[in-house]
Amino acid sequence: MTAPTLFAPDAYRAADPAAIVRAYPFALLSTATPEGIHATAAPIVFERDGDAASMVGHMARRNPHAGVLAAGQPVLAVFNGPHAYVSPRWYVDKPQVPTWDYVSAHVRGVLEPIDDDAGQLAVLRLTTAYVEPGADGWTLEDAPAGRVGQFLPMIRSFRIRVTAIEGVTKLSQTHPATDRRRVAAGLRAGLDNEELVRMIEALPEG
């Protein structure tokens, strides 16, 4: 694994960054070429359960980014979880300036394009199984006859040989539990922040 590159103070460094990746599999994939930086939102999942050594994903082939994907290319995939602005009005016992609570993970690795039909089918099958779990989940076999075959030339798949996974969970954990409760209450009263609120409330007291 490479040296850490994600800014995450010790108090906020995720104990299990791979869990963030699994929970939020729609990532921003970034690559750089001499012509510039490319970034595309794409579903990216671990290739095997319990193994963080490789990931697979796909994007539209007509996307210019797909045309510059190359073997051996360094990549960064960013997986973002819930996030929200935190008002300093909620920090009473330990006053603070405005900030942001958030959950995020970075995966760095080396790219390997997948262009053969069998390989691309395997990526689609794996991705579908991940987001459609259970016996009643939709599968490729449920698609209209011939549709998957028509779809394959429209995408370009890829594998990431993972070299580093890092994560950050900034959930006001450096503040007293009383402040965290006010943060949770403030977020709950605002926009759709329930998932972030549950994370904050799950922190141990102290």
| CA dihedral over 64, 65, 71, 72, signed as positive or negative | positive
pLDDT value of residue 4: 54
Interval 41-97: pLDDT, tens: 999 999 998 888 999 999 999 999 999 999 999 999 999 999 999 999 999 989 889
Please report whether residue 201 resides in a domain. no
Provide the domain count of the chain.
Answer: 1
Q: Report the predicted TM-score, pTM, of the whole model to 2 decimal places.
A: 0.88
- For the chain, the 3-state helix, strand and coil shares in percent, each to the nearest 5, are 30, 35, 30
Residues near 197 by beta carbon (within 8 Å), at least 6 away in sequence: 184, 187, 188
Cβ atoms 113, 157 nearer than 8 A: yes
Please report whether residue 29 resides in a domain. yes
Mean pLDDT score, 22-42: 95
CATH of residue 44:
2.30.110.10
Report whether pLDDT(35) > 70: yes
pLDDT value of residue 143: 85
Interval 116-169: pLDDT, tens: 999 999 999 999 999 998 888 888 888 888 888 898 999 999 999 999 999 999
Please report whether residue 191 resides in a domain. no
Cβ atoms 107, 165 nearer than 8 A: yes
